[in-house]
Amino acid sequence: MSKTADIGSKRLIGTNPAAWAQWATDIPDLQCLGIESSSFEWVSRQTDVLLRMRSPQYGEFLIVNEIQTRYSSEMPRRMRAYAALAEEKYRLPVYPVLVNLFPPSGDREIPNRYQSEFCGLKALQEYRRINLWEFDVQRILDRPIRPLIPFVPLFKNGNNELVVREALGMLRADETLQDFETLLAFFATFVLDTQLVQNIMRWDMAILEQSSLYRELAQRERQQGLQQGLQQGQQEQQRETIKNICRIRFRFWDEELENILDRLLALPAEESTRLLLELSKAELLARFANDSCSEIPEE
């Protein structure tokens, strides 16, 4: 059975934008008027999904949706920019929403606003912060919200076989969601054993490597991790990023990969990412074994 995954936020939210908007904002009785262009041509900014909504209470407004695999310290500034650019382009009030899929390392707190002060002048931009791991999954299953079903394993108490099976049944019962089975399976591998996920899905998990799913998330993971590492001046952040990519790519991290970590760190970011995404584990180990041999001086 061969499946491909389109994990585009626009397509997923588009399966039921009104339901997504009401969940993201807690504003009832919303009507979706359309999905607007989220590209701002005169500056290098593009948010995930921009919804034009109408509310009996608030009238017409925009929802800026930004979905992040992992939080970046640049997000408050970017949310401020997205909100301002959307308001300027469409001349409508803006409700910004930041959705974080995975929790940050440690006890790092994720802010819900951008604020700054310079020469007595203050800037403030608040936004709705949604951390999936803080929302109980039963709220999503009791009254199914179609765009959220593929993310069920990432919700609080979503790391349960019965819960994932229930979500899979919902996807397969809805023609508009059947293409998102791979997305559900991918996120399930973060909270359940890979073999168990394969049994639940009833297809070969190698299908994940036939799609662009893990590549896109791994690439974003790499970019965000490197950015944070540069900002914080910490190589440790970059080390953790490479480990996370390997867990996505190979579904584990072991001593053999640990032994080549320093050599991966020594490569340019683009090169190391390409190797991690294109080579099998055996090919990756062989590549660095060959490099090691070539460094031995001739006697």
Q: What is the pLDDT of residue 205?
A: 55
The pLDDT value given to residue 233: 45
State both tokens at 102. Answer: 């995975």
Convert the pLDDT of each residue in 165-207 to its tens digit: 999 999 999 888 877 888 888 888 888 887 788 888 876 555 5
pLDDT of residue 134: 94
Q: What are phi and psi of 69, to 5 degrees?
A: -65, -50
Domains of the chain: 9-134 (3.40.1350), 138-210 (no CATH), 213-294 (no CATH)
Cα–Cα dist 86/91, whole Å: 8
Q: What is the pLDDT of residue 245?
A: 76
Q: Give pLDDT tens digits for 262-292.
A: 888 888 777 777 787 777 788 888 888 766 5
- Per-residue model confidence as pLDDT tens digits over 38-88: 665 444 445 578 999 999 999 999 999 998 888 888 899 999 999 999 999
Q: Which residues of 151-168 are buried (b: 16+ CB within 10 A; e: fewer)?
A: bbbbbeebbeeebbeebb
* Burial tier of 172 (Cβ tally within 10 Å: 0-12, 13-18, 19+): exposed
Q: Do residues 121 and 132 lie in contact, with contact meaning Cβ atoms separated by under 8 Å? A: no
The pLDDT of residue 190 is 82
What global pTM score does this model have?
Answer: 0.70
Task: State the pLDDT at residue 299.
Answer: 45
Query: For all residues of the chain together, what is the average pLDDT?
Result: 81
Asked if residue 133 lies in contact with residue 155, where contact means CB atoms within 8 angstroms, the answer is yes
Is pLDDT at 298 greater than 50 in this prediction? no
What digits encode the pLDDT tens for the residues 95-108? 999 999 988 877 78
